[in-house]
Chains A and B, each alone.
Chain A
Amino acid sequence: MTDPQSEANAYTIRLELVDEPGELLRALEPIGENGGNLLSIYHERGHITPRGHIPVEVDLEATPERYETIVDALREAGINVIQAGTERYSESLTILLSGDLVDTGLSDTFTRIRDNTNATITDFELAAPQGSAAISSGRLRLGIEEGETERTLAKIREIAAEKDLRVIEPLSGVFA
């Protein structure tokens, strides 16, 4: 007989919580109750997702079977599970956008990025200076699958060009 503990794997679950008291605790309960071993919680308070939720990343250890039960239990409890398990995005990409971000439709920009790439928007922060000047900036963090950086950036450049937004990209990935 195999010891179930020896089969435990590490998993990362990304959740989006509603900004209400007690939500974090409510999200963690199904993990302990179903035999998951909580390793770390990354709770980025102050950062909100485009939908107005708070992103939380939970690392835990569990057997594959228990892990499935945990994800199901989270979903049953009405917790918003964004990513679970092995489909974890392996690369993170941070870019800056500037221009008339607000009037060109922020949520449309996000929708189009989501619909046209395999990337997930994991974080966004907007800086819209006071005054009549329309130049605002945003910092966007994307979770992307390995090898998808160039394709994702090409799409974003296209969307940005249409909206007359400036994109500040990271360096080319391939070097050395």
Chain B
Amino acid sequence: MRLAVLGAGAVGSSVAELAGEYGHSVVALADSTSAAVDPDGVDVEAALAEKHESGAVGDASVDDALAGEYDVLVEATPTTLGDAQPAYDHVRAAFERDRHVVLANKGPVAERYADVRALERESAGELRFEATVGGAMPVLSTVEDHGPDHVSGLRGVLNGTANFILSRMAAEGLDYEHVLAEAQDLGVAEADPSFDVEGTDTALKCVIVANVLAEGEREYTLDDADVDGIVGIAGSALELANDDGRTVRLVGEVVDGDIRVGPRILPQQSPLVVSGTENVVQLATSNAGLLNVSGRGAGGPETAVSIMTDIRRLE
């Protein structure tokens, strides 16, 4: 497949770098302001080096990239809330030209699910967004394979930063501020970690799952989620949990049409108790009980691999 990759951050650049290995070519690579476009295949290494040098991936514009000859638009620009722009316009442009759309950006399917599905219905292109939930873990494709009718709920640890902080605090008896600073030094937490530690990122993933499970009967946005984060969580609370064979994890739940995210007390043996930046998801299925999927929930190559599985399903 010929790919137009929008977004040249960790995920976008990994998609562009790995495309060849998965049998695809990159005909456009764009960041927020510039693009490299070549119908015969963009020199990805050169474009990324150029971005590093000059701040621009190429001489073309983002619109040129959208107007190019590609089969699949990969939308990997940073997630925005509310109107989900500019990603939403990118999606629309691709669908209007009957191209497929693969999202890493959560905004369009978390905040404007019905609108995006409406655009898809008018198009010969198809929408896929495995990479928006749980990085490398096959969450949405598992739901799709079972059929949303046969999956009654999901709960999971869907944010590696929050999980790193909670597992370090519990293991080392350190306080929140200390571990957060350590996570920032290690690059596990961003300079502004609010999206992760306030539970927003986890909530967006749950909203997307809720939209898929609802099959158009109800549309969910971030406003429908009951969200609590882990900011300032007390080390003494984790110690008390530990003394009782329990621990605390930031868990997102989609149960009976309700979405809630918050720190939860769990038995230490629970499959939801993973350490470090690992993620895990538990799906309740109608005839097969609980299915647990765990793995790397974030990262450039990991998320790019989920995008590759989506593209493979489009072939």
Contact = CB atoms under 8 A, between A and B. Distances in A.
Interface stretch (A19-27, A48-56, A134-142): A134-142
Interface stretch (B23-31, B93-101, B248-256): B248-256
B237 A95 contact: no
B253 A172 contact: yes
B15 to A, nearest CB: 34
A126 B126 CA distance: 55
A169 B237 CA distance: 12
A171 B251 contact: yes
B19 to A, nearest CB: 39
A42 interface: no
Contacts of A129: 235-236
Contacts of A125: 240, 243-244
Contact of B234 (A98, A169, A170, A174): A98
A172 B243 CA distance: 22
A96 B290 contact: no
A117 interface: no
B284 interface: yes
A127 interface: yes
B260 interface: yes
A176 interface: yes
B241 A139 contact: yes
Contacts of A95: 265
Contacts of B265: 94-96, 168-170
B152 interface: yes
Given A171-B251, A172-B253, A94 B246 contact: yes
Given A95-B265, A96-B248, A169-B265, A176 B236 contact: no
A94 B264 CA distance: 10
Interface string A91-122: 00011111000000000000000000000000
Interface string A142-176: 00000000000000000000000010111110111
* Residue among A125, A138, A166 having the largest count of chain B Cβ atoms under 10 Å: A166
B236 A171 contact: no
Contact of B237 (A137, A170, A172): A137
Given A168-B263, A170-B264, A171-B264, A137 B234 contact: yes
Interface residues of A, number: 23
Contacts of A172: 155, 253, 255, 258, 260
A127 B153 contact: no
B240 A139 contact: yes
Best-surrounded residue of A96, A97, A138, A166 (most CB of chain B within 10 A)? A96
Interface string A58-97: 0000000000000000000000000000000000001111
B227 interface: no
Given A169-B262, A171-B253, A136 B248 contact: no
Contacts of A135: 234, 236
Given A94-B244, A168-B263, A170-B264, A176 B290 contact: yes
Nearest to B289: A176
B266 A175 contact: no
Contacts of B64: none
Contact of A127 (B240, B248, B266): B240
A170 B256 CA distance: 17
B239 interface: yes
Residue in A135, A170, A172 whose Cβ sees the most chain B Cβ within 10 Å: A172
Nearest to A95: B265
A168 B248 contact: yes
Contact of A137 (B236, B253, B266, B282): B236
Contacts of B155: 171-172, 175
B264 A169 contact: yes
Contact of A174 (B240, B241, B255): B255
Interface of A: 94-98, 125, 127-129, 135-139, 166, 168-172, 174-176
Given A127-B237, A137-B234, 9 more contacts: A96-B248, A129-B236, A135-B234, A137-B240, A166-B234, A169-B264, A171-B253, A174-B255, A175-B284
Interface of B: 152-153, 155, 233-237, 239-241, 243-244, 246, 248, 251, 253, 255-256, 258, 260, 262-266, 272, 282, 284, 289-290
Nearest 3 A/B pairs, CB to CB: A137-B237, A137-B236, A139-B240
